[in-house]
A and B are shown apart, each in its own frame.
Chain A
Amino acid sequence: MSYLIALMIVFIGFLWQVSIDGIQRKVTAKVHRRVGPPWYQTFMDIFKALSKSSITHGFIYDFGVMMALGGTIATFMFLPFGNIVAFNGLDNFFVVVYLLAIGSLGMAMSASGSGNAWAGIGIMRALTQMVAYEVPFMIVVFGMIHVYGTSSLSELAHVQQMNGILGWHIFTMPLGAIVAFISLLGMLNKVPFDTPIAPTEIASGPMVEYGGKHFGMLMLQHEFATLVEVGLFVNLFLGGGNLIEYLIKYFFVYTLVTLIYAVSARFRIENVVTFFYGVPIVLSLVQAAIVIFTGLGVNV
């Protein structure tokens, strides 16, 4: 039964995220004073890419793409989607974070397998960026897990709903929320943290060799990864909520990300690391210390 629910979530999540992605293209266009494509443009892109012919550089090139998409879909199945939790008790923060790495590893492997040097540089940057954004984010959540005694995302979302809107962690743990939001920008590979993709410098980095169905699958992988990453933020800091609330919050967070990336320029890779290991890591440690030692901001 839970497996069926999981498959259903995957389908709904796909429709939702891809439509949202189209809408965000409209939003970006408005910021840039353009008209922009229709909201269903991303659907068309994905289906067009999947139907076109492609090239392959060997077994690992194909296998990595499947591993990337499969791993990311599997991760999404564990994430609470609104109040729907497919596998009760298994929506564990560490499980989600590490399962998400399967997707990244698959993509990295596939891109390296192509033998393209641009892809190699892109992967190097992606892994470096991962070290930068993941650590502050995990420290903030670490404090949360310690005080609530649970690492279940749905329970962490649930404890925030008890005191109404003011109980959300974005208000009770504002420092942590800031850090997590900046980390979210890094996770989503959006400008100013789109260093690994950087079309103008390294020809889209990991994506340089892909075309046809391989590219379509990686687009899908990106959509599911976005679902997980934004979903983590909504569950951890905006109190989750029922499906409608969840989707509204999701929309707002994603639009905020879009507004930032529509007007920013790109960081260099070492600047990404020094940026995250400057203020955000200090804020995250301060936030964790406040939560662990004083209990301030913890919903009872």
Chain B
Amino acid sequence: MALNSLLITGLLLSVLTFFLTKINKKLGSYFTIFSTLFVLVFLFGYMNDVGTVFNLWSFGGFSLQLVSSNYGWFFSIIMVLTYFLVSFFNPYWVEKMVNPASYNMLYVFSVVSTLGVFFAKDFLTLFIFWEMVVWSSLFIIPLGKSRKASVVYYAISTIGSFSMFFAIMYLYSLFQTFDIKSISQNLISSPNTAVMAYFVIIIAGLAKLGIFPFHTWLPIAHGNAPHTFSPVLSGGLVKMGAFIALLVSAIIPTSQIFSNHIHIIGVPYENYIIMVLGAISIIVGTLMAIKQEDAKRLIAYSTVANGGYILIGISLLDQVGFAGGMMHIFNHAMASAAMFLTIGAVAYRTGTTNMSELGGMIKKMPVTFAAYLIAIISIAGIPPTSGFASKWLIFQGLASEGLMFIAFATFFGSIGSFMYVFRPLATVFLGQLSPKHNDVKEVPFMMQIPMLVMSLLTIYFGVFPSQMLGFISKIQASLNIVPISVEGSKIYSFSGMWDSLVITAVFVIGFIIAALIFYTHKKAQPVDQMNTYTAGEFIYDPESYHYAKNYYAPFERLYKNHPSVEKFYDAIALRVNEFGRLVRSWFFSSNASVGVFWISVIITIAFFWGDKI
């Protein structure tokens, strides 16, 4: 199916979903699985298709056009795959939704709109579909816990959208075209405009990717969105920001345009500034994630940190770091969506995402636990999962450039991620099982499918990362970046090679040795979870014996008085609010004399200016 008709069909399918859900809630929810699968299947055909132009709509002298490209395919397949897998959760949550019909419609609508963003040939198409995605998610978020969340989301999103729109119109006024390719050709000859365009457009990307100082919407929106939408928000939609970053730094060839500009440690200062923002997000995201008591907010802050990795990788624009950043998009989509899904699964059975109220879920939900374990191993970047592949490549990229301050942030975030990902593991899945959760069951098999598939994909691309890096090398070639060299399961970088297959084999050998030692010795006697050493105290209550609240209290104490950009935003909001109240008290008072006063003032002005007008 041609790309433009796929898009139109997808949008029609979303409308169909709406009416089907009106007829039957379950039917409509199953239809979201079908719709996303439909898009996924037809999208696969565009894997190696580059440069075919599809006309979407023409009016006057303008036309909305799509063009197939390998980077667009890479982004969109990740997005649609995440949506497809998460949609298996929809039929189970539909009963708890306030407005299931519009949820299901917007769910399909937003994924199809992202295709328009990723395959846009011109900025106008990109912007229109970008706004469609923003608006559809805007209406989904309040279906969750909080209505205010979508206000915060929209406020931050608007900053990005407006600045992008301003840049697009400015570039149009200069070059009389919306076409991305011809604009990037024109920008090469006018580097000063390019600097402006780079910064103004990338703000939209930063806002979407949740980069400091625009990260504040992520914990609020992800934490309050419906449990079925948080995974796609974090795993999928956030990656649109990465696409914008890719667009303005690689598709508009900044390494070429900025090559004569001031370089900081071998990187043009423009890219370095963006990398510094990525580094700050890593540190802020990590520190804030450690503090959270709510599992969903914790994962949202980890998304902030991982957005930093992606941005740094893409801004490096080199052989290995760029490939690492691109691969991290996929890894993070799978891992964070899986984390959100497992927490959603726990919430489906227990009704809470507050970590200190849970505990010991492993006995009741082993599959969910396994999926969470694999996801966090990938987020923490430990072999043999795919998260290690991308982190290794980003480290190599940073090491080859010698960017030590950025590297400091990435190391801190990488080690710090052990701290925050371990917390839900220990407090939700391990530890003491509260008696009120004694009758909790594993989620239905339908809900286990996406978790299992995501885990398998994480391990598959961890053992065979070259499968994906091969495709990324094609993207690099099409963007005039030296492609990463891959040979079988070996990956080469400037500082040596790495063979994922051997590492996995050695890990298996090590595990076999350990298992041999374990199983050849005396069988252990199983005891109850409460039957533990308590230093002479007698504790019969599992809840008070479960160490979950204020988990990292000593570490949090070290930065409890941290400066916060939220306070700054709150201060701005307060001022705006005060100004609004001032205006209202002047003009919109319920007191009649105020109205009479303004009417007389206006009449007086009109009277004295009358003859001049």
Query: What is the interface of chain A, defined by CB distance below 8 A to chain B?
Result: 3, 6-7, 10, 50-60, 62, 65-75, 77-78, 87, 89-90, 92, 94-95, 98-99, 101-102, 104-105, 108-109, 112-118, 120-121, 123-125, 127-128, 130-131, 134-135, 138-139, 142-143, 145-147, 149-152, 155, 203, 208-209, 212-214, 216-217, 220, 268-270, 273-274, 285, 288-289, 292
B495-A151 in contact (CB<8A)? yes
Q: With contacts A70-B510, A115-B530 known, is A95 near B383, CB below 8 A?
A: yes
> A156 to nearest B CB, angstroms?
10
Report the Cα distance A131→B408, complex, angstroms: 12
Provide 28 A-B residue pairs closer than 8 Å at the C-beta atoms, listed in order of the A residue.
Answer: A52-B522, A60-B430, A66-B515, A70-B515, A73-B514, A77-B506, A94-B395, A101-B382, A102-B383, A105-B382, A109-B430, A120-B426, A120-B551, A123-B426, A131-B415, A134-B415, A135-B411, A138-B407, A139-B404, A139-B407, A143-B404, A146-B400, A208-B532, A220-B517, A270-B555, A285-B404, A285-B405, A292-B265
Question: Counting CB contacts under 8 A, is B456 at the interface?
Answer: no
A213-B552 in contact (CB<8A)? no
> B313 to nearest A CB, angstroms?
15
A112-B430 in contact (CB<8A)? yes
A50-B408 in contact (CB<8A)? no
Q: With contacts A57-B527, A89-B497, A115-B532 known, is A217 near B518, CB below 8 A?
A: yes
Residues from chain B with Cβ under 8 Å of A114 in the complex = 529, 532
> B389 to nearest A CB, angstroms?
11
> A212 to nearest B CB, angstroms?
7
B518-A90 in contact (CB<8A)? no
B510-A77 in contact (CB<8A)? yes
Q: With contacts A89-B497, A139-B408 known, is A115 near B555, CB below 8 A?
A: no
B526-A58 in contact (CB<8A)? yes
Residues from chain B with Cβ under 8 Å of A6 in the complex = 506, 509
Residues from chain A with Cβ under 8 Å of B432 in the complex = 115
B382-A55 in contact (CB<8A)? no
B557-A270 in contact (CB<8A)? yes
B518-A92 in contact (CB<8A)? no
> B539 to nearest A CB, angstroms?
9
A131-B404 in contact (CB<8A)? no
Given contacts A135-B415, A213-B524, A292-B402, 5 further A-B contacts (CB under 8 A): A55-B526, A95-B503, A99-B383, A102-B382, A127-B419
Residues from chain A with Cβ under 8 Å of B418 in the complex = 101, 104-105, 127, 130-131
Identity of the chain B residue whose Cβ is nearest the Cβ of A272 in the assembled complex: B554
Residues from chain B with Cβ under 8 Å of A208 in the complex = 532-533
Residues from chain A with Cβ under 8 Å of B530 in the complex = 115
Residues from chain A with Cβ under 8 Å of B400 in the complex = 146, 149
A142-B507 in contact (CB<8A)? no
Residues from chain B with Cβ under 8 Å of A109 in the complex = 373, 425, 430
Query: What is the interface of chain B, defined by CB distance below 8 A to chain A?
Result: 265, 360, 362-363, 369, 373, 377, 380-383, 388, 391-392, 395-396, 398-402, 404-405, 407-408, 411-412, 415-416, 418-419, 422, 425-426, 430-432, 494-499, 502-503, 505-507, 509-515, 517-518, 521-522, 524-527, 529-535, 542, 545-548, 551-552, 554-555, 557-558
Report the Cα distance A169→B205, complex, angstroms: 43
A270-B554 in contact (CB<8A)? yes
Report the Cα distance A30→B546, complex, angstroms: 42
8 smallest CB-CB distances across A and B, nearest first, come from A74-B510, A120-B547, A70-B511, A70-B514, A69-B514, A56-B524, A73-B510, A70-B510
The residue from B388, B408, B431, B551 contacting A124, defined by CB atoms under 8 A apart: B551
Report the Cα distance A52→B534, complex, angstroms: 22
Report the Cα distance A98→B418, complex, angstroms: 11
> A89 to nearest B CB, angstroms?
5
Q: With contacts A58-B526, A98-B383 known, is A115 near B521, CB below 8 A?
A: no
Residues from chain A with Cβ under 8 Å of B505 in the complex = 3
Report the Cα distance A62→B530, complex, angstroms: 17
The residue from B392, B396, B499, B525 contacting A53, defined by CB atoms under 8 A apart: B525
Residues from chain A with Cβ under 8 Å of B373 in the complex = 109
Residues from chain B with Cβ under 8 Å of A7 in the complex = 509
A145-B502 in contact (CB<8A)? no
B532-A152 in contact (CB<8A)? no
Report the Cα distance A142→B518, complex, angstroms: 37
Identity of the chain A residue whose Cβ is nearest the Cβ of B494 in the assembled complex: A149
Identity of the chain B residue whose Cβ is nearest the Cβ of A208 in the assembled complex: B533
Report the Cα distance A220→B513, complex, angstroms: 12
Q: With contacts A127-B419, A273-B558 known, is A99 near B399, CB below 8 A?
A: no
> B356 to nearest A CB, angstroms?
12
The residue from A60, A87, A98, A130 contacting B388, defined by CB atoms under 8 A apart: A98
A56-B404 in contact (CB<8A)? no
> B241 to nearest A CB, angstroms?
27
A273-B527 in contact (CB<8A)? no
The residue from B402, B422, B521, B542 contacting A146, defined by CB atoms under 8 A apart: B402
Residues from chain A with Cβ under 8 Å of B552 in the complex = 124, 128
Report the Cα distance A98→B381, complex, angstroms: 7
Residues from chain B with Cβ under 8 Å of A75 in the complex = 510
Which secondary structure dominates chain B's binding surface? helix
The residue from B392, B396, B518, B557 contacting A62, defined by CB atoms under 8 A apart: B518
Residues from chain B with Cβ under 8 Å of A124 in the complex = 547, 551-552, 554
Report the Cα distance A120→B425, complex, angstroms: 11
Residues from chain A with Cβ under 8 Å of B515 in the complex = 66, 70
Residues from chain B with Cβ under 8 Å of A147 in the complex = 402
Report the Cα distance A109→B376, complex, angstroms: 12
Residues from chain B with Cβ under 8 Å of A98 in the complex = 381-383, 388, 391-392
B509-A135 in contact (CB<8A)? no
A151-B506 in contact (CB<8A)? no
Residues from chain B with Cβ under 8 Å of A51 in the complex = 521-522
Report the Cα distance A59→B518, complex, angstroms: 13
Report the Cα distance A269→B514, complex, angstroms: 31
A92-B522 in contact (CB<8A)? no
A128-B399 in contact (CB<8A)? no
B558-A123 in contact (CB<8A)? no
A121-B547 in contact (CB<8A)? yes
Report the Cα distance A214→B85, complex, angstroms: 39
Report the Cα distance A29→B409, complex, angstroms: 42
Report the Cα distance A139→B403, complex, angstroms: 10
> A149 to nearest B CB, angstroms?
6
A53-B555 in contact (CB<8A)? no
Residues from chain B with Cβ under 8 Å of A67 in the complex = 511, 514
Residues from chain B with Cβ under 8 Å of A134 in the complex = 411, 415
Report the Cα distance A72→B514, complex, angstroms: 10
Report the Cα distance A57→B418, complex, angstroms: 24
B404-A92 in contact (CB<8A)? no
The residue from A155, A212, A220 contacting B524, defined by CB atoms under 8 A apart: A212
A112-B431 in contact (CB<8A)? yes
A289-B404 in contact (CB<8A)? yes
Report the Cα distance A202→B373, complex, angstroms: 27
Report the Cα distance A289→B531, complex, angstroms: 53
Report the Cα distance A16→B287, complex, angstroms: 40
B408-A135 in contact (CB<8A)? yes
Report the Cα distance A109→B422, complex, angstroms: 8
Q: With contacts A66-B514, A67-B511 known, is A142 near B495, CB below 8 A?
A: no
Most chain A CB inside 10 Å of its own CB: which residue of B363, B430, B545? B430
Residues from chain B with Cβ under 8 Å of A87 in the complex = 499, 502, 506
Residues from chain B with Cβ under 8 Å of A3 in the complex = 505-506, 509
Identity of the chain B residue whose Cβ is nearest the Cβ of A116 in the assembled complex: B532
Identity of the chain B residue whose Cβ is nearest the Cβ of A151 in the assembled complex: B495
> B253 to nearest A CB, angstroms?
26
Report the Cα distance A177→B273, complex, angstroms: 31
B533-A78 in contact (CB<8A)? no
A115-B360 in contact (CB<8A)? yes
B518-A213 in contact (CB<8A)? yes
Q: With contacts A90-B502, A112-B430, A217-B518 known, is A57 near B529, CB below 8 A?
A: yes
> A78 to nearest B CB, angstroms?
7
The residue from B498, B525, B533, B545 contacting A56, defined by CB atoms under 8 A apart: B525
Report the Cα distance A216→B514, complex, angstroms: 11
Residues from chain A with Cβ under 8 Å of B503 in the complex = 74, 78, 90, 95, 99
